A = this chain, B = another copy of it.
Amino acid sequence: MIEQSALTQLARIVGKENLLTTPEDLACYGFDATPRLGRWPDAVVKPGGPREVSEILQLANREGFKVVPRGAGNNLSGGSVPIQGGLVVQMNRLNRILEIDTENLTALVEPGVVTSDLHAAVEAIGLFYPPDPGSMTVSTMGGNVAENAGGLRGLKYGVTRDYVMGLEVVLPSGEVINTGGKTVKNVTGYDLTRLMVGSEGTLGIITKILVRLIPKPEAKKTMLVYYRSLSDAAETVSSIIAHRIIPPTLEFLDNVTVRCVEQYIHAGLPLDMEAILLIEVDGPSSVVEEDAEKVVEVCRQHKAAEIQLSRSAEDSLRLAAGRRAALPALARIKPTMVLEDATVPRSQVAAMVRQVQQIADRYGLLIGTFGHAGDGNLHPTIVCDERDRQEMERVEKAVDEIFRAALELGGTLSGEHGIGLSKAPFMTMEMKDAGMKAMVAIKRALDPNNVLNPGKMYLDDYAAGHGARGEVLSAAPHGSVLGSGF
């Protein structure tokens, strides 16, 4: 609970018009894009700058309420759900692109800038900001940094982390730090910039972001390739890399996903293929033509059933439409969608997809798998009905096995969505005791009162002595909050 006196002070800090407390407002900030997780905050504020954020955090430390930063709220792991109540700090008033420096190739933005707005602004002058999370038309840069968002171009261009050069961050204490800068090289002090990237709002609230830009690739060519056999598709992926071509995009859809997509968009996709690859190459025009030819040749060698090649930008969009429709297409099938982002080394993609299919069979579930084959970042997506208790039990078991499979194949729990609440119970599987201890020590060092985004990333649970997976299941915040607050 936030005391009335504290609410009065919050109104003074951000202005009355930027403090929300009605049930209608609180309901809107009680969930994000993650299914089955929610709790109303006690209040919501929309600060206008770092000084206000700093005052809010100082007040929170004094008054003992919790603070949960929020961007567009399209998080997929419950990261922006105020699971212990308290104050949601909605950052989208800070939405200016402050500078695009064409000499140093940097952009300075506020956290509320929508990712695709930054894309448009820099591409208009021949520059390029590569990270392109699936939600880029709604997601904000602050959220992208807090979650270290990935996207379709990760294989060639890397992820958000690889483009953040500096940050202005309000620490949990309310102190403001500036990290990094416009120099390509900077080794002064610990890398606080990258400690903040992907810390999911648990270590600081980001108020300014300096990102690196690169020249916009001159040309691009898109290919859609059908395979009767999953193994052939996987071997194509490895073989393209072995030919020393690194396509920005190398996407995969399995048969279940293709069927759902075809039902949805009627694009004439074949229903008897085990896998479809969407491949894009980019770069100088001459290289793109050459690379595209080589890729086509490799696909043929690996028994591609059909290859469609783009001849125009429109063509590219048309070919990519199926992949872009994967998520909504799966979402239509049943009321609930449990979307994971278990990630494996590229060489293990086929093995992972097969294991997911076996898990689906074993638990009688419909799981569509699609995602970024090139960087091993897969999205096994379980379509289910949260009102069906028995089915949801099977879903939980399947999710557990999917994570185990990914880790056994040398992978990770999360490639790009973050841990938040939904993957918290699985953290010790990957981080082990020593890793969790180190994380908890860092969190306590910077946030001794645990003011900022508590309950996330399994930090509190681990600190409270929940070590092993077994203990956790019964006491998981994940399990205990289903539907609460709604």
User: Would you call A282 an interface residue if the criterion is a C-beta within 8 Å of the partner chain's C-beta atoms?
Assistant: no
Are the C-beta atoms of B195 and A375 separated by less than 8 Å? no
User: Would you call A301 an interface residue if the criterion is a C-beta within 8 Å of the partner chain's C-beta atoms?
Assistant: no
User: Which of A312-320, A382-390, A433-441 lies on the face that meets chain B?
Assistant: A433-441
- The residue that A343 contacts in the complex, of B103, B183, B242, B287, with Cβ under 8 A, is B183
A290 proximity list for chain B (CB < 8 A): 284, 286
- The residue that A438 contacts in the complex, of B147, B192, B347, with Cβ under 8 A, is B192
Are the C-beta atoms of A345 and B182 separated by less than 8 Å? yes
User: Would you call A445 an interface residue if the criterion is a C-beta within 8 Å of the partner chain's C-beta atoms?
Assistant: yes
Are the C-beta atoms of A438 and B432 separated by less than 8 Å? no
Closest beta carbon of chain B to A249's beta carbon, Å: 13
Known: A185-B159, A195-B195. A345 touches B434 (CB 8 A): no
Closest beta carbon of chain B to A36's beta carbon, Å: 21
A372 proximity list for chain B (CB < 8 A): 185
A369 proximity list for chain B (CB < 8 A): none
A416 proximity list for chain B (CB < 8 A): 185, 187
Are the C-beta atoms of A439 and B189 separated by less than 8 Å? yes
User: Would you call A405 an interface residue if the criterion is a C-beta within 8 Å of the partner chain's C-beta atoms?
Assistant: no
Q: How far is the CA of A335 from the CA of B219 in the complex (A)?
A: 54
Are the C-beta atoms of B284 and A183 separated by less than 8 Å? no
A445 proximity list for chain B (CB < 8 A): 441-442, 444-445
Closest beta carbon of chain B to A444's beta carbon, Å: 7
User: Would you call A236 an interface residue if the criterion is a C-beta within 8 Å of the partner chain's C-beta atoms?
Assistant: no
Q: When each residue 228-270 of chain A gets 1 if its CB lies under 8 Å from chain B and 0 otherwise, what string results?
A: 0000000000100110111000000000000000000000000
User: Would you call A331 an interface residue if the criterion is a C-beta within 8 Å of the partner chain's C-beta atoms?
Assistant: no
A367 proximity list for chain B (CB < 8 A): none
Q: How far is the CA of A161 from the CA of B184 in the complex (A)?
A: 12
Are the C-beta atoms of B419 and A188 separated by less than 8 Å? yes
A238 proximity list for chain B (CB < 8 A): 103
Q: When each residue 175-186 of chain A gets 1 if its CB lies under 8 Å from chain B and 0 otherwise, what string results?
A: 111110111111
User: Which of A1-9, A40-48, A148-156 lies on the face that meets chain B?
Assistant: A148-156
Q: How far is the CA of A283 from the CA of B218 in the complex (A)?
A: 15
Are the C-beta atoms of A246 and B214 separated by less than 8 Å? yes
- For chain A, which range describes its interface: under 10, 10 to 19, 20 to 34, or 35 or more residues? 35 or more
Q: When each residue 332-350 of chain A gets 1 if its CB lies under 8 Å from chain B and 0 otherwise, what string results?
A: 0000000000011111000
User: Would you call A431 an interface residue if the criterion is a C-beta within 8 Å of the partner chain's C-beta atoms?
Assistant: yes
Q: How far is the CA of A347 from the CA of B102 in the complex (A)?
A: 10
User: Would you call A376 an interface residue if the criterion is a C-beta within 8 Å of the partner chain's C-beta atoms?
Assistant: yes
Q: When each residue 423-457 of chain A gets 1 if its CB lies under 8 Å from chain B and 0 otherwise, what string results?
A: 10001001111110111011011100000000001
A177 proximity list for chain B (CB < 8 A): 432, 434-435, 438
Q: Please, which residue of chain B has its CB at the minimum distance from the CB of A244?
A: B215
Are the C-beta atoms of B183 and A242 separated by less than 8 Å? no
Q: How far is the CA of A131 from the CA of B58 in the complex (A)?
A: 42
User: Would you call A90 an interface residue if the criterion is a C-beta within 8 Å of the partner chain's C-beta atoms?
Assistant: no
Are the C-beta atoms of B446 and A441 separated by less than 8 Å? yes
In chain A, residues 402-432, which have Cβ atoms closer than 8 Å to a Cβ of chain B?
A: 410-419, 423, 427, 430-432
User: Would you call A199 an interface residue if the criterion is a C-beta within 8 Å of the partner chain's C-beta atoms?
Assistant: yes
User: Would you call A104 an interface residue if the criterion is a C-beta within 8 Å of the partner chain's C-beta atoms?
Assistant: yes
Are the C-beta atoms of A185 and B346 separated by less than 8 Å? no
Q: Please, which residue of chain B has its CB at the minimum distance from the CB of A174?
A: B434
Are the C-beta atoms of B415 and A187 separated by less than 8 Å? yes
Are the C-beta atoms of A442 and B434 separated by less than 8 Å? no
- The residue that A187 contacts in the complex, of B155, B245, B414, with Cβ under 8 A, is B414
User: Would you call A277 an interface residue if the criterion is a C-beta within 8 Å of the partner chain's C-beta atoms?
Assistant: no
User: Would you call A126 an interface residue if the criterion is a C-beta within 8 Å of the partner chain's C-beta atoms?
Assistant: yes
Are the C-beta atoms of B185 and A104 separated by less than 8 Å? no
User: Would you call A61 an interface residue if the criterion is a C-beta within 8 Å of the partner chain's C-beta atoms?
Assistant: no
Are the C-beta atoms of A148 and B187 separated by less than 8 Å? yes
Q: How far is the CA of A416 from the CA of B435 in the complex (A)?
A: 28
Ranked nearest first, the 7 interchain pairs of A and B with the lowest CB-CB distance are: A215-B244, A185-B415, A184-B375, A445-B445, A441-B445, A175-B434, A182-B345
Give 15 A-B pairs besides A182-B345, A188-B431 with Cβ atoms closer than 8 angstroms: A154-B185, A175-B438, A181-B410, A181-B411, A181-B412, A182-B410, A185-B376, A187-B198, A187-B415, A189-B419, A189-B427, A190-B199, A194-B194, A195-B195, A284-B287
Which A residues have a C-beta under 8 Å from some C-beta of B? 101-105, 126, 147-148, 150, 154-155, 158-159, 161-162, 171, 175-179, 181-192, 194-195, 197-199, 203, 214-216, 238, 241-242, 244-246, 283-284, 286-287, 290, 343-347, 372, 374-377, 410-419, 423, 427, 430-435, 437-439, 441-442, 444-446, 457
